[in-house]
C-alpha cells in the first residue's frame, strides 16, 4: 500500500507523480508552433538535417532551463511565478518590468497570434471543398483579410467574456485537448507511411528525395543569422515550458520525479516534433513548405495526402490545439495583472474581484482589449504597406512575443545564481543537477537569439518595439514613484 502524499513546506500536498508531471510538460508546451512554424523555419533553413538539429536543440534548451527553474520555484512557491522570482532576485523594478512586458508583449502578443491562427484554421475549413459540399456553401467561400481580423477580435472577446463569467474548464476538457494535440502529431507522423503500406498511389506519397541534401554541401555558405531566425520559430513551438515550475512544490519526491518528468516530457515532445517534421518533408519539399503563407503546414500536408476531407480534419485539430492554448493564456495572464494591482504595481482596479463572478474581470477585459488592438494594429500596418507583407501577421506577433519572453524568462532562470548565494543555507527539496553549468549553458542560445533579432531586418521592428515597451515601462515606474514602497 502506498503511503499518503505528504505536504510540502508551504502546505501544498505532494500529489503529482512522474506520469502526471510529464503530462503537464507535454500539455502546456504543444500548441500552435508545430502546426505553423515549420513554414517559417523552412524559409531560413533548406536542409532537413539542420531543421531536425534545431528542433533537438530547442528541446535541450528548455530541459536545461527547466532543471534550473524548478529549483527556484520550489524555493519560492508563491503565487505570481516570474513576478515573484524577479522581484526577489533583482528588486521591485524587475518584478514590475516582468509584469509590464508580460502584459504589453509576451502574453498579449501570444493571445493575438493564437487567435489569428485559430481564425486562419477556421478559414481553411470554410474554404474546404468537402466542407462546402456537406453544408451547402458556394464554392470558393472564404474570409477576406479584414473579415479574418474582425473574427479574430471576436474570438478574443468571446473567450474573455467566458472567463469573466467564471466558467471553469475541468480536468477532463484539458485532458481531451492534450490528447487531441498528441494524437494529431502521432497521426501526422504515421500518415505517409500508412499510405505507402496501403499502396495508395498519389504524387505526394513519401518522397525521401525531399530530405536531400540532408546537410549543406558548403558549410561556409551557412548563415548564422538565418539559423537564429529559424530557431526563433522553434522557441515559439517550445514556449510554455515554464508552466511546469508552478506545480513543482506539489510533485512527490521532487529530487527524482521532476528530472524524470522533464526528461520524459521533453523527450516525448522532441520525438513528436521530429516525427511530424519528417512527415511534412516527405510530402512537402522544403521550398514548397517555405512558400505557404495563407494556411498551416499541417493543413496543406493533409490536403496533399488525404484530399479535402483530410485538410478539414487537420485544420480542426489545429483549431482545437490553439483553442486550448488560447483559453489557458486568457485564464492565467490576467492573474498576473490582478496580483500586481493587489501589490500596488498596477492600477488597484485590476486587483478587484468581480462581486458576482468572483474573477478579476477588469484584468481579463484589459488584456483581451490590448491583444485585440495588437491584432488590428499589425493588420493595419500590413495593409498600409508599412510592414513587410511577405511576413504573416502570425509570425510577426509570435516574434514580438518571443523577444520579451526570451529576455525575462532567461533572467528568471539565472536567478538561481542569486538565490544560491543569498539563501545558501535554505532548505531545498529539489536541487538543480549539474549546477552551475546547467543554467550557465542555458544562457548561451537566448543571448544569441536576442542579438540576432537586432541584426536581422525581418525581426528588427519587433526587437525595437520590444525595447521601446521595456523603456516605457521603466519610465512609468519612475514617474509614478512605484519604487518608493520597496519591500
Q: What is the mean pLDDT of the chain?
A: 84
CA atoms of 53 and 32, how far apart (whole Å): 20
Q: Inform me whether the pLDDT recorded for 419 exceeds 70.
A: yes
**What is the rounded average pLDDT of the residues 53-73?**
90
**What is the rounded average pLDDT of the residues 129-144?**
74
* Spatial contact of 105 and 401, defined as CB atoms under 8 Å apart: yes
Could you tell me the CA-to-CA distances from 340 to 220, 344, 379, 390, 480 in Å, in that order?
50, 6, 31, 38, 14
**What is the rounded average pLDDT of the residues 83-101?**
91
pLDDT band at 199 (very low <50, low <70, confident <90, very high): low
CA atoms of 156 and 382, how far apart (whole Å): 21
**What is the rounded average pLDDT of the residues 222-248?**
84
Higher pLDDT, 90 or 205: 90
Give residue 150's pLDDT. Answer: 95
* Spatial contact of 208 and 282, defined as CB atoms under 8 Å apart: yes
Give residue 333's pLDDT. Answer: 79
pLDDT band at 2 (very low <50, low <70, confident <90, very high): very low
Handedness of CA 343, 345, 347, 351 (dihedral sign): negative
pLDDT band at 413 (very low <50, low <70, confident <90, very high): very high
Could you tell me the CA-to-CA distances from 229 to 141, 290, 454 in Å, in that order?
34, 14, 11
Among 43-52, 158-167, 177-186, 274-283, the range scoring the smallest mean pLDDT is: 158-167
Give residue 3's pLDDT. Answer: 44
146-197, pLDDT tens digit by residue?
999 999 999 999 989 888 886 554 445 556 777 888 899 999 999 888 877 7
Name residue, grid cell 548564422. Answer: 224
Q: Inform me whether the pLDDT recorded for 39 exceeds 90.
A: yes
Higher pLDDT, 340 or 369: 369
Give residue 9's pLDDT. Answer: 53
Kindly state the greatest CA–CA separation across the chain.
73
Give residue 470's pLDDT. Answer: 94
CA atoms of 92 and 132, how far apart (whole Å): 55
Q: Inform me whether the pLDDT recorded for 200 exceeds 60.
A: no
Share of the chain above pLDDT 70, in %: 89
289-304, pLDDT tens digit by residue?
999 887 899 999 998 8
Nearest alpha carbon to residue 5 among 23, 20, 27: 20
Q: Inform me whether the pLDDT recorded for 484 exceeds 80.
A: no
Name residue, grid cell 471576436. Answer: 154
Give residue 165's pLDDT. Answer: 81
* Spatial contact of 152 and 375, defined as CB atoms under 8 Å apart: yes
424-483, pLDDT tens digit by residue?
877 777 889 999 999 999 999 999 999 999 999 889 999 999 999 999 999 999 888 775
Q: Inform me whether the pLDDT recorded for 267 exceeds 70.
A: yes
C-alpha cell at 37: 512554424
pLDDT band at 203 (very low <50, low <70, confident <90, very high): low
Q: From the options 1.10.3720.10, 3.40.1410.10, 1.10.10.10, 1.20.1740.10, give the CATH code of 18-478.
A: 1.20.1740.10
Give residue 487's pLDDT. Answer: 35
* Spatial contact of 31 and 240, defined as CB atoms under 8 Å apart: yes
**What is the rounded average pLDDT of the residues 350-360?**
84
Give residue 247's pLDDT. Answer: 62
Higher pLDDT, 236 or 140: 236
Cα 376-380-383 angle, rounded to 5 deg: 135
Higher pLDDT, 399 or 260: 399
Give residue 170's pLDDT. Answer: 43
Q: Tell me which DSSP letter residue 8 carries.
A: -
Burial 186-215 (b: 16+ CB within 10 A, else e): ebbbebbeebeeeeeeeebebeeebbeeee
Give residue 125's pLDDT. Answer: 86
Give residue 41's pLDDT. Answer: 95
Higher pLDDT, 346 or 277: 277
What residue segments make up the domains of the chain, in order of their start? 18-478
Nearest alpha carbon to residue 67 among 447, 434, 444, 443: 434
Among 89-103, 212-226, 253-267, the range scoring the smallest mean pLDDT is: 253-267
Name residue, grid cell 512527415. Answer: 279
CA atoms of 23 and 11, how far apart (whole Å): 23
Give residue 88's pLDDT. Answer: 92
* Spatial contact of 331 and 310, defined as CB atoms under 8 Å apart: no
Cα 29-237-47 angle, rounded to 5 deg: 140
CA atoms of 28 and 215, how far apart (whole Å): 32
Give residue 322's pLDDT. Answer: 87
Q: Inform me whether the pLDDT recorded for 204 exceeds 70.
A: no
CA atoms of 62 and 26, how far apart (whole Å): 12
Q: Inform me whether the pLDDT recorded for 74 exceeds 50.
A: yes
Nearest alpha carbon to residue 252 among 1, 80, 4, 23: 4
Neighbours of 291 (CB within 10 A): 13
375-410, pLDDT tens digit by residue?
999 999 888 888 777 778 888 889 999 999 999 999
Neighbours of 445 (CB within 10 A): 21
Amino acid at each position: 500500500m502506498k503511503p499518503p502524499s505528504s505536504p510540502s513546506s508551504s502546505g501544498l500536498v505532494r500529489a503529482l507523480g512522474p506520469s502526471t508531471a510529464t503530462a503537464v510538460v507535454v500539455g502546456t508546451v504543444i500548441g500552435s508552433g508545430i502546426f505553423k512554424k515549420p513554414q517559417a523555419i523552412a524559409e531560413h533553413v533548406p536542409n532537413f538535417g539542420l531543421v531536425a538539429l534545431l528542433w533537438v536543440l530547442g528541446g535541450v534548451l528548455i530541459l536545461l532551463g527547466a532543471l534550473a527553474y524548478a529549483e527556484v520555484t520550489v524555493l519560492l512557491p508563491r503565487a505570481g511565478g516570474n513576478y515573484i522570482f524577479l522581484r526577489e532576485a533583482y528588486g521591485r523594478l524587475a518584478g514590475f518590468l516582468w509584469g509590464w512586458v508580460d502584459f504589453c508583449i509576451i502574453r498579449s502578443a501570444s493571445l493575438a497570434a493564437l487567435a489569428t491562427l485559430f481564425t486562419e484554421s477556421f478559414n481553411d475549413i470554410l474554404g474546404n471543398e468537402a466542407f462546402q459540399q456537406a453544408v451547402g456553401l458556394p464554392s470558393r467561400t472564404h474570409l477576406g483579410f479584414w473579415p479574418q481580423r474582425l473574427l479574430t477580435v471576436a474570438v478574443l472577446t468571446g473567450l474573455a467574456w467566458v472567463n469573466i463569467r467564471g466558467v471553469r474548464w475541468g480536468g477532463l476538457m484539458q485532458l481531451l485537448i492534450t490528447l487531441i494535440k498528441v494524437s494529431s502529431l502521432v497521426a501526422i507522423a504515421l500518415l505517409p507511411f500508412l499510405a505507402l503500406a496501403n499502396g495508395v498511389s498519389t504524387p505526394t506519397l513519401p518522397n525521401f528525395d525531399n530530405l536531400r541534401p540532408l546537410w549543406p554541401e558548403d558549410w561556409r555558405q551557412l548563415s548564422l543569422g538565418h539559423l537564429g531566425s529559424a530557431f526563433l520559430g522553434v522557441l515559439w513551438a517550445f514556449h510554455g515550458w515554464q508552466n511546469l515550475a508552478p506545480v513543482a512544490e506539489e510533485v512527490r519526491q521532487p529530487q527524482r520525479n521532476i528530472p524524470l518528468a522533464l526528461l520524459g516530457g521533453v523527450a516525448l515532445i522532441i520525438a513528436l516534433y521530429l516525427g511530424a517534421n519528417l512527415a511534412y518533408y516527405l510530402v512537402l519539399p522544403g521550398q514548397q513548405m517555405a512558400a505557404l503563407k495563407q494556411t498551416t503546414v499541417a493543413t496543406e500536408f493533409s490536403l496533399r495526402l488525404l484530399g479535402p476531407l483530410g485538410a478539414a480534419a487537420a485544420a480542426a485539430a489545429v483549431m482545437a490545439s490553439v483553442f486550448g492554448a488560447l483559453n489557458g493564456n486568457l485564464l492565467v495572464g490576467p492573474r498576473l495583472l490582478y496580483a500586481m494591482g493587489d501589490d500596488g504595481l498596477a492600477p488597484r482596479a485590476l486587483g478587484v474581484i468581480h462581486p458576482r463572478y468572483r474573477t478579476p474581470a477588469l484584468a481579463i477585459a484589459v488584456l483581451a482589449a490590448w491583444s485585440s488592438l495588437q491584432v488590428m494594429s499589425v493588420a493595419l500596418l500590413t495593409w498600409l504597406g508599412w510592414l513587410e507583407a511577405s511576413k504573416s501577421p502570425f509570425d510577426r506577433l509570435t516574434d514580438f512575443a518571443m523577444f520579451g519572453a526570451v529576455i525575462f524568462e532567461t533572467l528568471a532562470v539565472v536567478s538561481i545564481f542569486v538565490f544560491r548565494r543569498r539563501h545558501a543555507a535554505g532548505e531545498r527539496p529539489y536541487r538543480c543537477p549539474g549546477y552551475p553549468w546547467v543554467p550557465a549553458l542555458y544562457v548561451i542560445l537566448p543571448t544569441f537569439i536576442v542579438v540576432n533579432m537586432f541584426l536581422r531586418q525581418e525581426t528588427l521592428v519587433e526587437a525595437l518595439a520590444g525595447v521601446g515597451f521595456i523603456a516605457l515601462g521603466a519610465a512609468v515606474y519612475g514617474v509614478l514613484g512605484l519604487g518608493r514602497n520597496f519591500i
